[in-house]
Amino acid sequence: MELAEDIVIVGAGIAGLTTALGLHRLGIRSLVLESHDSLRITGFALAIWTNAWKALDAVGITESLRRQHTRLLEVTTTSTISGLTAADIIFSAAGTQDHEVRCVQRKILMETLVKELPSGTIKFSSKVVSIEESGSLKLIHLSDGSILKAKVLVGCDGVNSVVAKWLGFKTPAFVGRFAVRGSVHYENGHGFEPKLFQFIGEGFRSGIVACDDKSLYWFATFSTSMSSQEMEENPAEVKQFVLSKLGKVADNFKAVIRDTELENLSLAPLRFRHPWDILWGSISKSNVCVAGDAFHPMTPDIGQGGCAALEDGVILARCLGEALREKQGIRSEEYKRIEMGLKNYAKERRWRAFEFISTAYMVGYIQTSNSKILSFLRNKVLGGVFAKQQLKIASFDCGKLTTS
């Protein structure tokens, strides 16, 4: 069966939902295809930095998210080896900008995006398996044998993107590190200050942060001789491993790891796209493009992957909106306008994506290096340099969405 749609977005993650909502705000309908039978929420929470608040503002969903999540005041980086503070950056006093950083629960973020979309926008249990050309349209083949025709195809299908592959991108590379994330709910309150507490030392990086008065989120990245499967099968061992790596970190932080129920742990191998693939690769081709992790998978060392996906969604919606605004005109002109709109999006995002991936990789490499010189520099000067770099990246404004 072949069905016709104007704009098809593959993937109901942060990138896909933001793009759909951005288009909706411009009065443009889209269809989101999601392979799972419901929203796929992995990783509990994520840091949402100033740049992402601007994107959330553009799609009009900041109010309830702000109400439900604590504003963080600063990031404190502590050495696991000495137990001493390596850097302390206060968000409100950083440079010329007053930074807004909160740790947002993924479930709340995704559900807030979905709530604003017209019903029927998302089609669950719809896994895209291949893409085919049919004149100026794209034929999207689903795993159930059905086929959709689209004037525009947007790949927001994450790190294993089918659309990125169609555009010619290579499979993202494993960086040799894993991440474990955890979440703990304290019914009577956790008592932690509203700060992002980071711990670094000996090939290991970790952090603990409050989402609200009762919920804490934590993460750790590391390399290990254990395989992905071994870790999946032994979450208790992974928890022990994280505890053993925290060294001289104060006991109240270690207690958070101990208090984490095993079902509230999530493990992920870390993958990224080589920055030069972003520079030379086709972010868009004819009426197809990619956004979010499908476009620029990065290591989580600057906590910006989801924020970048939010920026992509707003900018892509704006570029597509401009292309589709002129409704009249013959079909070939519309195709050219769409192609140009996606080219403009690619042009706006290429260097930004390059900056995200390369900064995250470099920060991760140095923060988790075992080298004695790098450890010394990290504890003396680099901690502060990294925190400032994080704030510089967060000082980006993706702009607004307007229908005029």
Ligand X SMILES: Cc1cc2nc3c(=O)[nH]c(=O)nc-3n(C[C@H](O)[C@H](O)[C@H](O)COP(=O)(O)OP(=O)(O)OC[C@H]3O[C@@H](n4cnc5c(N)ncnc54)[C@H](O)[C@@H]3O)c2cc1C
Start-to-end C-alpha separation, the chain? 38
Site for ligand X in 168-197 (CB under 6 A): 179, 181
Taking the complex as a whole, how short is the minimal distance between the CB of residue 158 and ligand X, in angstroms? 3
Site for ligand X in 114-143 (CB under 6 A): 127-128
Selected range binding ligand X among 20-28, 152-160, 332-340, 349-357, rule: CB under 6 A: 152-160
- What are the start-end ranges of the H helices in 59-119? 62-68, 106-115
What DSSP state is assigned to residue 4? E
Take residue 270 and report the two structure tokens written for it: 């870390």
Taking the complex as a whole, how short is the minimal distance between the CB of residue 172 and ligand X, in angstroms? 11
Distance of CA 52 to the CA centre of its chain: 10
What DSSP state is assigned to residue 205? E
Residue from 277, 293, 311, 355 that binds ligand X (CB under 6 A)? Answer: 293
Work out whether 356 is an interface residue with ligand X (CB under 6 A): no
Taking the complex as a whole, how short is the minimal distance between the CB of residue 162 and ligand X, in angstroms? 5
Between 218 and 253, CB nearer to ligand X: 218
Work out whether 303 is an interface residue with ligand X (CB under 6 A): yes
CA neighbours within 13 Å on the CB side: how many for 131?
Answer: 25
Between 337 and 358, CB nearer to ligand X: 358
Query: Of 63, 61, 151, 110, which is closest to residue 401 (Cα–Cα)?
Result: 61
Work out whether 290 is an interface residue with ligand X (CB under 6 A): no
Take residue 278 and report the two structure tokens written for it: 């972003």
Residue from 246, 307, 317, 387 that binds ligand X (CB under 6 A)? Answer: 307
Q: Please give the Cα distance from 64 to 119 (Å, whole number).
A: 20
Q: Please give the Cα distance from 139 to 53 (Å, whole number).
A: 35
Work out whether 268 is an interface residue with ligand X (CB under 6 A): yes
Residue from 20, 47, 65, 211 that binds ligand X (CB under 6 A)? Answer: 47
8 A C-beta contact, residue 395 and residue 95: yes
Taking the complex as a whole, how short is the minimal distance between the CB of residue 210 and ligand X, in angstroms? 13
> What single string gives the DSSP state of each residue in 172-189?
PEEEEEEEEEEEEE-TT-
Site for ligand X in 5-44 (CB under 6 A): 10-16, 33-36, 40, 43
Work out whether 391 is an interface residue with ligand X (CB under 6 A): no
Amino acid symbol at 265? L
Taking the complex as a whole, how short is the minimal distance between the CB of residue 184 and ligand X, in angstroms? 16
Taking the complex as a whole, how short is the minimal distance between the CB of residue 40 and ligand X, in angstroms? 4
Residue from 46, 290, 316, 324 that binds ligand X (CB under 6 A)? Answer: 46
**Residue 84 phi, psi (nearest 5):** -95, 155
Residue from 235, 275, 305, 321 that binds ligand X (CB under 6 A)? Answer: 305
Name the CA radius of gyration of the chain, rounded: 21
Q: 365 to each of 106, 139, 299, how far by Cα in Å?
A: 26, 41, 10
Burial call 351-378: b when 16+ CB within 10 Å, e when fewer? ebbbbbbbbbbbbbebbbbeeeeebeeb
3-state secondary structure of 56: helix
One character per residue 209-238, x = contact with ligand X (rule: CB under 6 A): ----------x-------------------
Residue from 201, 292, 341, 383 that binds ligand X (CB under 6 A)? Answer: 292
Q: Please give the Cα distance from 216 to 199 (Å, whole number).
A: 16
Q: Using CB under 6 A, count the residues that bind ligand X.
A: 35
Work out whether 309 is an interface residue with ligand X (CB under 6 A): yes
Residue from 56, 65, 109, 162 that binds ligand X (CB under 6 A)? Answer: 162
Between 197 and 219, CB nearer to ligand X: 219
Work out whether 275 is an interface residue with ligand X (CB under 6 A): no
8 A C-beta contact, residue 68 and residue 190: no
> Binding residues for ligand X, per CB under 6 A?
10-16, 33-36, 40, 43, 46-47, 127-128, 156-158, 162, 179, 181, 219, 268, 292-294, 300, 303-307, 309
